[in-house]
Structure formats: C-alpha cells, structure tokens
A and B are shown apart, each in its own frame.
Chain A
Amino acid sequence: GENVEQHPSTLSVQEGDSAVIKCTYSDSASNYFPWYKQELGKRPQLIIDIRSNVGEKKDQRIAVTLNKTAKHFSLHITETQPEDSAVYFCAASISGYSTLTFGKGTMLLVSP
C-alpha cells in the first residue's frame, strides 16, 4: 500500500519568514495530493491540493509543488503569520481509489 513520509516533524520560524514542508510517497499510481491544516482540538481543514497533471499550484501565500519523477511534493508558506501556527498534514490518494494516506504531520510554530 501507499506510504507517505513527512518532514520536518516540527518547524519554528519567525513571523514574515517562509516555511517549507516536504512529503514523499511510495506508490507511483498516486495522483492526488491534498494538504490539511489542523489547529489544536479542531478538524483538519483542506488548504490546498494538487493533482498529478500539474507541477505547481498557488493560492495567495500558499503554494504546493509536485515532482512525480522523484515522488515528492512540498508545501510552501510565504510571509508567515502567527495564525499559521498549526499542524499541517500531507496526504496522497490513488485515482479511483479515494482513501487518503496521511503523513504524520508537521507542527509549525510562527513566533511574532
């Protein structure tokens, strides 16, 4: 089955800096890669996703890149703000078989 590795497990940055979280996946058939943000005690919320027919997607301060050959994808957050502090999860899914395999999460701490 699919295996998703996520790094780093914790990431501390100063407000205004950029943050990068990286994930690798094992199954080359995976073609859908969402990112979720989870604040303490809250539900995971979808913040951005990418499908394998594109290499990059942006939404304001958030971007995701995908390298299918290397089987890795990354989340980039620019101009970080304290409210970006949360746990971020990457996930992968195989088309037509829609269960998500999650990474173990990255705790992002943005200091004012």
Chain B
Amino acid sequence: DAGVIQSPRHEVTEMGQEVTLRCKPISGHNSLFWYRQTMMRGLELLIYFNNNVPIDDSGMPEDRFSAKMPNASFSTLKIQPSEPRDSAVYFCASSLFSGASSGYTFGSGTRLTVV
C-alpha cells in the first residue's frame, strides 16, 4: 500500500494566484481529512469528508478555500486567490471510519509558500 499520496510536495506561488493541492487516500478508506499546520496555530482541521460527502467545513478559514472529493480516490483543496498568510504545510489524512476508534493515516504534506 502506497499510503496517502499528496501532490505536489512543495508549491511556491505568487499572491493572488490559484493553488490546487491534491490527495489520493488509501484505497478502501471512506473518510478523508484536510489539515493545515503552521508554527503559530499548530495542526488545524479544515474539512472532512465521509463517503465523498463534506461533513464539517467549519475549519475552512475563508471563502477563498474550497475542497472537493469527486470520487473515493481523489480530493482537492483549492485556494483562490492565495495570500501570504496561507503559507503552511497542508496535510491530507484518510481513515476507514468506524467511529471514535478509527486510526488516521496521514500523507507527507504539501508545503505551500505564497510570496
């Protein structure tokens, strides 16, 4: 199993540009989570999906952020337009949801730098 695959690993973009981060969850997992990590705020849950349906997006910081999961094997997190304060490491995680005892598998993250 290749684990959770995120792309790209690094992204540098100019302020105002659109950025799309991608995630392929582990095959068979039915829950997917997007997190953001900064030194100041630590790991923050942005949004999560269950069976491809967004369940809770209360962590999405602004309307500039959007996430989709068109099928069970792919999800995107889009920032449009990007701002320097969006610079962070973005992690995707998946789990075979079985309630509060589920274990998550995280990807290696995408380091986003907005200049």
Please say whether chains A and B are actual partners in one complex: no
* A-to-B contact residues, CB < 8 Å: none
* B-to-A contact residues, CB < 8 Å: none
